[in-house]
Amino acid sequence: MDDSQRNALAEAVLGQIFVELEASGRHVHVTAEQAQHLFGHGLTPKRPLSQPGQYLANERLTVIGPKGEFHNVAVLGPERREAQVEISLTDGKHLGITPPVRLSGNAKGSPGGTLVGPSGRVTLQEGFIAAQRHIHLRPADAQRFGVRDGQTVQLQTFTQRPVIFHDVVVRVHPDFAPRAHLDYDEANACGFRSGDLGRILP
């Protein structure tokens, strides 16, 4: 049963519309130039992510902060125009920085750190953020849910220890797959397991 079939079933049975939850672990976005410097070549896809065109790369990095480091951190492709390191607040504590809670792509003035790959090292002056929880929707989904791009909503999770997250940003784009994205602090706080669903509250 694919997403749309499951949603249609849930809607018919329960009179409610659901969105699949996903947990995003810590990961790095790099520019084409940085990929060349860190790995000696561009990023290569290992497997596709739920959002069309996005992929988990074969390449991995060490991420270093003032108080700690993480090895073997996922890199997501394709390359971007700006580097960005998305970590949880728990990860920030380990690294010794306090990342601001921001939407992806908005890392101005955030703390920096160092990336180390097999071929080189890059020091970022900024770019470390905790991704603000958000929901990807296509225009048709947004219309069904009665929400619009940029709006914040409440998201109820049907998980082991249920939570209603406030301040969840809706992002609408025709190329999106409908998914609510949590970081690992949030995923663990609600006892998320793969396949769990959430509901946008009216």
The residues that touch a second copy, with contacts defined as CB under 8 A, are 88-90, 101, 132-133, 154, 160-167, 184-186, 188-191
Q: Which of residues 89 and 116 has its CB atom nearest to a second copy in the complex?
A: 89
Which residue type, as a one-letter code, is found at position 35? A
Rank residues 71 and 161 by Cβ distance to a second copy and give the closer one.
161
Cis preceding linkage at 66, omega within 30 = no
From the list 151, 200, 182, 198, the residue with the least C-alpha distance to 89 is 182
Whole-angstrom Cα distance, residue 164 to residue 77?
A: 31
CB 53 within 8 A of CB 78: yes
Q: Which is nearer to a second copy, 7 or 88 (CB)?
A: 88
CB atoms within 10 A of CB 132: 17
Q: How far is the CB of 154 from a second copy (least distance, A)?
A: 8
Residue 98 or 123: which CB sits closer to a second copy? 98
Report the nearest approach of a second copy to the CB of residue 111 (Å): 16
Q: Say if residue 129 is exposed, middle or buried (CB neighbours under 10 Å; 0-12, 13-18, 19+).
A: buried
Q: How far is the CB of 116 from a second copy (least distance, A)?
A: 22
Residue placing its CB nearer to a second copy in the complex, 122 or 130 = 130
Q: How far is the CB of 3 from a second copy (least distance, A)?
A: 25
CA pair distance 75, 167, nearest whole angstrom:
27
User: Taking the complex as a whole, how short is the minimal distance between the CB of residue 90 and a second copy, in angstroms?
Assistant: 5
